[in-house]
Amino acid sequence: MTAAALTIFIGCQKEDELLNYKDESNLSDTEYAYNKLSVIGFNVLKDSKNSKFRNQVYSKVNEKFDDDFEVLVKDLEISHQNPNLKSAINSDLLEAFKGIDNNNYYPQVFIPFYDELKENNIIGTSDPVLVIFAGGEDDKKDEFEGYILNENNEPEKLDFLITEDFAREN
């Protein structure tokens, strides 16, 4: 039997690599927003341990609000009660995505190959893998860093890169 993982891409447009600066005062708008995207992504990953939250994500993803299998983070926050994402959104993280190069961006959860995974009964069979995808230079990549939750319920970077094949099969 093969273990399966749900691959969740969380993203919005950005131009720079993942930045983990403690002092955000000197960051560009894009760098600042990407840091905030990471915070949102890690909180979505933590909340994904809760089956009620997962079911909410699947329900919203099934709606295909823009003809793709994704849901806006702000739409998840409105109706769910898990403390991680609720706290993240209430701390005005979404404000970081407004006015970047005169554009507003909307963080979203995207599940690649959702329809195939659902048809094969793989959705929800094991813990998800988080990939932070931000457009821009990420559009040119074929492999991405992935994160899972460790035994302390903290995000941990995988020791391999996530590919399209991995996402399709997991």
Return the closest-CA partner of residue 128 out of 1, 18, 3.
3
Q: What is the pLDDT of residue 14?
A: 36
Q: What is the pLDDT of residue 20?
A: 46
N- to C-terminal Cα separation, the chain:
13
144 against 84, higher pLDDT: 144
**Distance (Å) of CA 165 to CA 47, 129, 137, 144:** 25, 14, 20, 12
Report residue 28: phi and psi, to 5°: -70, 170
Round the average pLDDT of the chain to a whole number and report it.
Answer: 75
77: pLDDT strictly greater than 80: no
Structure confidence by residue, pLDDT tens digits, 27-70: 777 677 778 888 888 888 888 887 888 888 888 888 887 788 88
Mean of the pLDDT values across residues 1-22?
41
Q: Which residues contact 70 (CB under 8 A, 6 or more apart)?
A: 61, 108, 109, 110, 111
- What CA–CA distance (Å, rounded) separates 74 from 108? 8
DSSP annotation of 65 reads: T
Q: What is the pLDDT of residue 70?
A: 83
Q: What is the helix (H) or strand (E) element at residue 144, kind and residue range?
A: strand 143-149
Residue 83: band (very low, low, confident or very high) from pLDDT cuts 50, 70, 90:
low
Return the closest-CA partner of residue 10 out of 158, 142, 130.
130
Q: What is the pLDDT of residue 158?
A: 94
Are the C-beta atoms of 45 and 149 separated by less than 8 Å? yes
Q: How many CB atoms within 10 Å of residue 85?
A: 24
Structure confidence by residue, pLDDT tens digits, 123-144: 877 788 998 877 666 667 788 8
Are the C-beta atoms of 18 and 38 separated by less than 8 Å? yes
Three-state secondary structure call for residue 92: coil
